[in-house]
Amino acid sequence: MNSHRNSRGLRLSHLLPLALAAIAALTCLLPFAVRAADHKSAPPAKPASEYPASDTHPNEHITVAADPCDDPKLCPFFRLPYIQHGLLPIRVIFTNDSDRPITLEDARMQFISANDDKIPAATEDDINRRIFTIHSAQPIHVPLDPFPIHRTAVDKKISQDDDDFGFKSTTVSPHASLDGYLFYDIKDLEDPALKHAELYVKMVRTLDGKQELFAFTIPFDKWLAANPNAPSNQKRN
């Protein structure tokens, strides 16, 4: 009996470190599991031709669409309140129905207002400056310069949103679509900012570089007509 109890105790003593190690591993993984559960994803993109605001080039077999999100409730997956800070997220969708790949490596996608203001897509630095005030910057003193230079690291949530919701590639494969969100600073535009505005997309080329496609013009009036109750159809306060 004693030897039986001793052998059982020995087995338990061997198992105890393994159990503790398993508990420790689960404890380490729990925060990642919680973050994964909390993470929200954007709805899958449709082919560009299925969006109200789009422009198709039949001869080139390419369609580009623009789908703004002007209501935070309709794009709750973003980590930061871009819309509330005058930054309009626009999902841009490229659908390539041709037999050759195209590249967006040099593409320019400008928001052109009714007054012909040409607004490029905001960079991460632009977004960071808009959302976070200068008070969060840490001054860096340069020798012989009496004025501090303020340099602010881009907030990680901006980079994470770009990783999750921006363009994953610059190549649109044949018979495939590619999409990503871009942000445009419309804070100083007259209301409603989307009225008579358009997204102008140029310098899209075939991947072999032999052809530059004609520019695409996507009028946002089409989107406004399809979304009569959208905040962009109303004047901002």
| The pLDDT of residue 213 | 97
State the total domains in the chain: 2
- 33 and 146, same structural domain? no
Q: How far apart are CA 165 and CA 176, in angstroms?
A: 18
- 187 and 106, same structural domain? yes
| The pLDDT of residue 119 | 97
- 152 and 58, same structural domain? yes
- 114 and 226, same structural domain? yes
| The pLDDT of residue 33 | 42
Query: Can you say whether the dihedral through the CA atoms of 79, 83, 84, 87 is positive or negative?
Result: positive
| The pLDDT of residue 212 | 97
| The pLDDT of residue 154 | 83
- 67 and 3, same structural domain? no
- 171 and 210, same structural domain? yes
| The pLDDT of residue 136 | 40
| The pLDDT of residue 39 | 59
| The pLDDT of residue 235 | 64
The segments of the chain whose pLDDT lies below 70 read: 1-39, 133-152, 235-237
**Residue 119 sits in a domain of what CATH number?**
2.60.40.1150
Interval 149-158: pLDDT, tens: 444 678 999 9
Domain membership of residue 4 as a residue range: 1-38
| The pLDDT of residue 153 | 79
- 188 and 133, same structural domain? yes
- 25 and 87, same structural domain? no
- 213 and 179, same structural domain? yes
Q: How far apart are CA 232 and CA 74, in angstroms?
A: 13
- 208 and 111, same structural domain? yes
- 93 and 28, same structural domain? no
Q: What's the pTM value of the predicted model, to 2 decimals? A: 0.77
- 216 and 184, same structural domain? yes
